[in-house]
Amino acid sequence: MYLKRFITGLLLFLPAVAWSQSIDEIRESSDYIYGEGFGRTLREADNDALKSLISKISVSVQSDFSSVEEEVVSSEGIDANSAVRSVISTYSQATLQNTERIIVRQEPDAEVFRFVKRADVFRIFESRKAKVLDMLASAGRAEEKGKIDDALRYYYWGYCLLQSLPNSNAVTNEAGNVLVHWIPDQINGILDGVQFVRSNQKGNYIELSVLYHGSPVSSLDYSYFDGMNWSNLYSARDGRGVLEMRPGASTDNIQVKCEYEYYGEAHIDKEIAQVVEVMRGGVFRNATRRVEGELPETASDVVLSVPLTASATESVTEQEGAVLVDLEPERSPLACLDVKESEPYRKKIDAVISAIRTSDYGSVAGLFTADGWDMFNRLVSYGKGRIVGNPEPSYIAIGDEVVCRSIPINFSFKGNVRQFVENITFTFNADKMIDCLAFGLDERAADDILHHAAWGEYARKILTEFLENYKTAYSLKRLDYLRQVFDDNAVIITGKVLTRPETDDAGRQYMNNRYVVLNRQSKEQYLRNLERCFESNEFINIRFAENDIVKAGKGDETYAIQIRQDYYSSNYGDTGYLFLMVDLNEPKAPVIKVRVWQPERDPNFTGLPDFD
């Protein structure tokens, strides 16, 4: 029944239509706010009517935005009325519900009448408040998992949205904290806990350990001063980051700035994009840190990659130069291959690492199967790759395969717009040939699955492998893999948030409403659309931020997965949650039975929904 409830909830986003009143009755009624517009075209007239409507809404609610003038971004002087009008425009252009239009006169001398119920104006404020609270909850969950980039982004965007609410100084969370003070405290607290520590240096190329309260971050975005200017955005993964100074620049006292505004990513949500353009989110000066010269005593024993051979009963012990830490009692460790067992795989991985470092890719072609070689070439074409540090991967047996986890690679792209570190996993087949490559889950997410004591060791391995392969298939545009993995009769529901105008058969138009459109597609329809998407986009990048996983039942390797997905491409972006039902009873041939996109997280996620 979950899907039914979800779709029923989406219907509430659709505009309610009531046309019993005439234009004259609307003008005379105190229940409505209206605007009239004129122009040569319907678009010009409608924009004029919308501006008029926004102005009147602003006047009607101005007293509830007494402090907004100080928070609106403007290079010139701005009065209270124009400040409120700027804020209200973010609602009208993104989330204003039930904004209705009547075409009074057609082109070439068009006239448009735009109106809204007064009660609906105040209802949209409650909708945005709910979005603020949901964003803060996401930030808290991200911080707990060490995803500092997500935590800072959601706190900052939530803060911007908060300031666009009437009487924002009185908005509190469930604990009674006044959010206009509480959110900046959370941001500052996170920033105070971040450390950048020089772990290795070769000339002007510096490798960093990126820590949060002494532990490796799962993810964090940053820029740095390279001796002449601030760099573009870099991304650290699992406590590893890099920076590259200009030739001749001093590598002492390097300044690094944690990213928290994410203006460039705000387009994944049109409402947020509108608000961050208008509202000031504040300047957090302690976002700028200095690179420390050596590991502090409190962090000297931190391991950037906790070995999966650690036993739940072991105390701190040294093994091959790494420090093993106690695992929580309820966690079940995985067995890795020992040094002798892993030797043939290790030699091949060392050769691959050397080939990437020297760009001599052809020298290792004989180590791959045909599929593996194709994926390797896609990988090295995805962005200029550079091995980070001296990798010490783990080797895990999964049936007759062996998975090498994880080789950190820093990727840079044409134009140097962004750089990031990904942990790459290599899968060897029974003949010890590299048959598959994947962008690994971040170590905390993988750790949550790999040490889940309630599931068997084999199940944990294949579930992690599936999620990594699924994520990678979109980035490397592996349509062949996706064709194999989807069941021929899979339930596939795609969706997106729309804000563009929609017109009904009667010529009535619902302008700039934010609502969700869902489309059920067959497997072939989905793959055809996906192929066009791959062809039209220079890049696709998927970020998984949270996951909830429920096993279908004893003796059955079918799983229900709810996972947050931030989707970026060169011409579109959105954020939402994927529901996947996947059959892993045949590990080498996983089958997706259900794939549903939805805009919000189901907080009561318990497993398999009823699709009847």
Residue 4, classed as helix, strand or coil, is helix
pLDDT at 60 over 90: no
Q: Is there a domain that residue 51 lies in?
A: yes
DSSP element (H, E) containing 126: helix 118-144
Confidence of residue 413 (pLDDT cuts 50, 70, 90): low
Percent of the chain with pLDDT over 90: 31
Compute the distance between CA of residue 146 and CA of residue 144 in angstroms, rounded to an integer. Answer: 6
H/E run at residue 236:
strand 233-237
What is the Cα–Cα distance from 408 to 426, expressed in whole angstroms? 12
Does pLDDT of 4 surpass 70?
Answer: no
Q: Which residues form the domain of 119?
A: 2-123
What pLDDT score was predicted for residue 390? 81
Residue 194 located in a structural domain: no
Q: Is the pLDDT of residue 440 over 60?
A: yes
**Does residue 527 lie in a domain region?**
no
Q: Which tokens go with 126?
A: 């409650």
Cβ-proximal residues to 110 (8 Å cutoff; 6+ apart), any chain: 38, 39, 40, 41, 42, 44, 45, 46, 103
Whether the per-residue pLDDT at 194 is higher than 80: the answer is yes
Span 80-105, average pLDDT: 74
User: How high is the pLDDT of residue 534?
Assistant: 87
Domain end, chosen from 387, 412, 440, is at 440
pTM, to two decimals: 0.66
Q: Look at residue 265 and tell me whether its pLDDT is greater than 50.
A: yes
Looking at 440, 472, 501, the residue that finishes a domain is: 440
Place of tokens 């994944």: 268
Q: What is the pLDDT of residues 134-165, one digit of tens each?
A: 999 989 998 998 889 999 999 999 999 998 88
Tokens of 573: 């972006």
Beta bridge partners of 206: 201, 243
- Which CATH number is 388's domain given? 3.10.450.50
pLDDT value for 77: 57
Tokens of 262: 């994410």
**Greatest mean pLDDT range, 98-112, 456-470, 550-564:** 98-112
Arithmetic mean of pLDDT, 453-482: 84
> Which among 414, 440, 466 is the end of a domain?
440
Question: What is the pLDDT at residue 74?
Answer: 63
Q: Note whether residue 155 is domain-resident.
A: no
Is 387 inside any structural domain?
Answer: yes
Mean of pLDDT over the chain: 79
Q: Is 240 a member of any domain?
A: no
More confident residue, 606 or 428: 428
User: What is the CA angle 47-52-57, rounded to 5?
Assistant: 120
Question: Could you tell me the two tokens for 371?
Answer: 């599929």
pLDDT at 428: 95
Name the DSSP letter for residue 484: H
Q: What is the pLDDT of residues 389-408, one digit of tens each?
A: 788 888 988 888 899 988 88
Q: How many structural domains compose the chain?
A: 2
- Whether 421 is in a domain gets the answer yes
CB atoms within 10 A of CB 275: 24
User: Is 78 within the bounds of a domain?
Assistant: yes
Nearest to 54 by CA among 131, 116, 9, 127: 116
Q: How far is CA 526 from CA 268, 492, 493, in A?
A: 21, 8, 9
CATH number at residue 67: 3.10.28.20
| Whole-number pLDDT of residue 83 | 81
Neighbours of 464 (CB within 10 A): 26
| Residues 6 or more apart whose Cβ sits within 8 Å of residue 502 | 509, 510, 513
Question: Does residue 304 surpass a pLDDT of 50?
Answer: no
**Proportion of the chain in helix, strand, coil states, percent, rounded to 5:** 35, 30, 30
Element (H, E) at 402: strand 401-412
The pair of three-digit structure tokens given for residue 397, joined into one six-digit string: 């047996």
- Give the pLDDT confidence score for residue 461 in this predicted structure: 80
Q: Is 531 exposed, middle or buried (0-12, 13-18, 19+ CB in 10 A)?
A: middle
Q: What pLDDT, in 10s, does the model give residues 17-40?
A: 444 468 989 999 989 999 999 999
Q: Are 419 and 412 in contact (CB under 8 A)?
A: yes
